[in-house]
A and B are shown apart, each in its own frame.
Chain A
């Protein structure tokens, strides 16, 4: 009996399908100026960028979470890093704190007695403020992606 080896069997239907379907080329992401504007708004006032885009639920969620984290951090007397930090950790801390946008400039109002990191809760406060900044930066990226049409 003359049997064809398994390696030589060709299934025409499958090969035709594969040949007919061209591979999608990865599209080059174009820069969006509208997205940049929305991202800046979103950074300046947490949630404002999403509000401009009509995503009011997300806007509210970001405003509450970023504002809640930042204000709690101030009330726990966390450390707010100044602009002219001397070491690398201080500079990183400043960038993280600056991420909170308008809340960075409200630090003096909420933190009347200044930072106190000698207590563990004060140290927790520092983390709260940094986390608020990081979440706000993520929300600004999210707003940019929505404005550029890459996210729903």
Chain B
């Protein structure tokens, strides 16, 4: 075990295999999954940027996350007739 951490080649190989497995997993999330993840991360940062505190901040994060999803799906439906 100690050899593993001491040997930079072995640890680099391990790290690279983790990155490859993660990349393969992420390529299967699809558009909706990517949109959910994007909305979640941006809503978190918006809530952190605001001046709200505690529960109010959490409520704002949930509200902006829901709006991201609703508006995203709404725009997708609006563009649907022009997609073909």
Contacts and interface: CB of A to CB of B under 8 A. Distances in A.
A121 B26 CA distance: 10
B45 A138 contact: yes
For the residues of A in contact with B, the DSSP-based class is helix
B41 A76 contact: no
Contacts of A135: 42, 45
Interface residues of B, number: 23
Contacts of A61: 44-45, 47-48
Given A62-B48, A131-B38, A77 B15 contact: no
Contacts of B7: none
Contact of B23 (A110, A124, A128): A110
Given A109-B19, A112-B19, A58 B37 contact: no
Contacts, number: 73
Interface in A104-128: 109-113, 120-121, 124, 127-128
For the residues of B in contact with A, the DSSP-based class is helix
B22 interface: yes
Contacts of A77: 23, 27
A75 B34 CA distance: 11
B42 to A, nearest CB: 7
Contacts of A65: 41-42, 44-45, 48
Nearest to B48: A61
Contacts of A151: 51
B20 interface: yes
Interface in A131-152: 131, 135, 138-139, 142, 151-152
